[in-house]
Amino acid sequence: MRTPTVIIVLSCLVAGGCNAGHSAMQGAEQFGAGFGEAATAPMDVLNLRPEVIPTVLLQAQANPYDMRNMSRCSTIGTEIVRLDEALGPDMDEPPPVDGRYMSERAADATAEAALGAVRDTATDFIPGRSWIRRLSGAAQHERDVQSAIQAGRMRRAFLKGMGMQRNCAPPAAPSWFQPTVTGRR
């Protein structure tokens, strides 16, 4: 009886060791792929590489409560999907299942920490970084990006509320909402 147990335990250890080695390689590849971006972080401080604000967020910022062409559940749902693509999933969506091994999560965290250290080191040598960010427009651009994100979130919440009011099915309403009758088209 003892021999099969030992064989099973050894098999699990070998399989886990192989996975840990594979995870370490993936972490190294992730670090290598992100190194260039982390090393060029000073370009962000100088506003030489500004983040592009998606059009759907700029539209939300201009008028978050705009209901033109939003008379049907399908158009509300389409607009919400566009916002989801720009913002990521809404808070009412369940988080994706993380089926990765612990070693894979550890490798990702290690690579992310190393890239953060490279990014910090690359920007720390810039004297008066906060003033340079102000003078280059990087600080204002970051505020503009955050404002557009906030407007997009507000618009998505507003549209989901309107979808609920019109008895629409998700995505034109929160994922937990169940229309009482077949939703409008």
Query: What are the average pLDDT values for consecutive 10-residue runs of the chain, which has 185 residues?
Result: 45 48 57 56 56 93 94 96 94 77 76 70 61 74 92 96 94 92 55
- The pLDDT of residue 139 is 80
In angstroms, how far is the first alpha carbon of the chain from the final one?
A: 65
CB-based contacts of 185, cutoff 8 Å, min separation 6: 72, 73, 74
- The pLDDT of residue 184 is 52
